[in-house]
């Protein structure tokens, strides 16, 4: 393959999600958990989906993987194409062709995601037997290699141990080994460092980056930690109340924040600036009730820049520059007064 052809192939999105809607029926009513989410990711890239708890990050990827219970959950609209093939709502996602084979997933809590009655090695070997047809002996040998690749010392000994014999950091490494066993095209990491101390967090993130370089897989990173985003991501989608409110490159999100919610997340982060270390700036208020989402912007009651139209009607994603876009009326061409601490498209100031 020529260099030009290789570049053209690598620029084609590996996964494209369009207008995804997911709902859950409960005794209290219908929760509209995901409301029209669209994004894409290319080969070898890392997309971070960020936002506070309950914004729909995990439900978005779990619905793609066929992991939400139906009922009470249901996908009411949308499309997800992996390498050009539709995978959403079809039998293929319920079988072995996608989940575990082409899309791997690291879950948030490894202790509750692993079977306490099986050894670590057997659990890593199982997807190789199911998806690749390996014998148990061959799969177990490969499981030892995967544990070693995940930087677990004495891998052969550890493969014969049970989850309760592993520390939290080692369990997360074992989960990573299981997720990459079948060499998936995409690895979904659902808050992989939440329950770990800072030192172990850094080791896990370094491991993910090393494995990504070795295998060329794309990574979808779900997190609420902007420090992790700055370290890992190429592109970022900021979610709020079931919608993506801003998306762009990691530099766009951190240095050219264009949505008030993104700016609020940044201001709420601890800082190394001695003049500001004594005070954190929380986002006042609470997210909207998704039993009956507001007709306008979900962030409107908490937004210091809200206008009358924000309460009545939701803005579309407005392109700013390149792939950077924001779902905010402040970027509409007819708006004449804008706050100085938000970024705007060239020529809008």
- Residues 107, 252 share a domain: no
Return the bridge partners of 301, or none: none
* The pLDDT value given to residue 8: 42
Total structural domains in the chain?
A: 2
In a domain, 342, yes or no: no
In a domain, 338, yes or no: no
Is residue 75 within 8 Å of residue 36, measured between CB atoms? Answer: no
In a domain, 71, yes or no: yes
For 7-18, how does the pLDDT look when each residue is reduced to its tens digit (9 = 90+)?
444 567 889 999
Assign 3-state DSSP to the chain and report helix, strand, coil percentages, each to 5.
Answer: 35, 25, 40
- Residues 155, 292 share a domain: no
- Residues 312, 171 share a domain: no
* The pLDDT value given to residue 345: 58
- Residues 158, 290 share a domain: no
- Residues 224, 256 share a domain: no
Burial category of 225 from C-beta neighbours within 10 Å (exposed 0-12, middle 13-18, buried 19 and up) = middle
- Residues 254, 148 share a domain: no
CATH label of the domain that carries residue 98: 3.40.50.300
Which regions in the chain score pLDDT beneath 70? 1-11, 89-97, 195, 273-278, 343-349
In a domain, 349, yes or no: no
In a domain, 345, yes or no: no
Q: Where are the alpha helices (DSSP H) in the chain?
A: 3-11, 57-64, 91-94, 110-113, 120-132, 136-149, 155-158, 168-179, 198-215, 226-232, 250-255, 260-267, 308-312
Q: Where a domain ends, among 202, 233, 264?
A: 233
* The pLDDT value given to residue 188: 92
Sign of CA pseudo-dihedral 199, 201, 204, 205:
negative
Sheet containing 186-190: give its strands across: 103-106, 186-190, 218-223, 46-50, 235-240, 243-249, 324-326, 318-321
Residues in Cβ contact with 338 at an 8 Å cutoff, skipping those fewer than 6 apart: 330, 344, 348, 349
- Residues 210, 320 share a domain: no
- Residues 308, 198 share a domain: no
* The pLDDT value given to residue 276: 62
In a domain, 336, yes or no: no
229 CB neighbour count, 10 Å cutoff: 21
Only one residue has tokens 């030009």, namely 4
For 285-308, how does the pLDDT look when each residue is reduced to its tens digit (9 = 90+)?
888 989 988 999 999 999 988 888
Strand pairing of 324-326 and 318-321? antiparallel
Strand pairing of 73-82 and 13-26? antiparallel
pTM of the model: 0.87
- Range of the structural domain that residue 28 is part of: 3-233
What is the total residue count of the chain? 349
- Residues 218, 107 share a domain: yes
* The pLDDT value given to residue 4: 42
In a domain, 11, yes or no: yes
Dihedral, CA of residue 255, residue 263, residue 191 and residue 180, to nearest 10: -30
In a domain, 348, yes or no: no
């Amino acid at each position: 393959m020529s260099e030009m052809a290789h570049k053209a192939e690598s620029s084609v999105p590996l996964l494209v999600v369009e207008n995804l809607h997911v709902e859950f029926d409960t005794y209290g009513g219908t929760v509209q958990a995901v409301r029209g989410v669209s994004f894409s990711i290319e080969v070898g890239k890392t997309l971070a989906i960020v936002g506070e708890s309950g914004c729909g990050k995990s439900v978005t990827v779990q619905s793609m993987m066929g992991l939400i219970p139906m009922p009470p959950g249901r996908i009411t609209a949308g499309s997800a194409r992996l390498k050009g093939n539709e995978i959403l709502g079809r039998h293929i996602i319920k079988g072995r062709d996608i989940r575990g084979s082409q899309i791997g997933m690291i879950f948030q809590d490894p202790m509750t995601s692993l079977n306490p009655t099986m050894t670590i090695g057997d659990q890593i070997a199982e997807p190789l037997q199911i998806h690749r047809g390996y014998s148990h002996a061959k799969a177990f040998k490969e499981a030892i290699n995967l544990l070693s690749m995940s930087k677990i010392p004495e891998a052969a000994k550890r493969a014969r141990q049970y989850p309760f014999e592993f520390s939290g950091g080692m369990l997360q490494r074992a989960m990573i080994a299981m997720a990459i066993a079948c060499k998936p095209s995409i690895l979904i990491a659902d808050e992989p460092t939440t329950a770990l101390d800072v030192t172990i967090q850094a080791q896990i993130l370094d491991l993910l980056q090393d494995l990504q370089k070795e295998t060329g897989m794309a990574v979808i990173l779900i997190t609420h930690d902007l420090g992790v985003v700055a370290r890992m991501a190429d592109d970022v989608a900021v979610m709020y109340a079931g919608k993506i409110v801003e998306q762009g490159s990691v530099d766009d999100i951190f240095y050219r924040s264009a949505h008030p919610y993104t700016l609020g997340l940044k201001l709420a982060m601890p800082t190394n600036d001695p003049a500001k270390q004594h005070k954190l700036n929380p986002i006042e208020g609470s997210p909207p009730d998704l039993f009956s989402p507001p007709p306008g912007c979900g962030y409107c009651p908490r937004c210091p820049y809200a206008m009358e139209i924000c309460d009545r009607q939701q803005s579309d994603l407005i392109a700013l520059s390149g792939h950077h876009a924001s779902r905010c009326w402040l970027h509409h061409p007819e708006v004449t007064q804008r706050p100085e601490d938000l970024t705007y498209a060239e020529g809008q100031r």
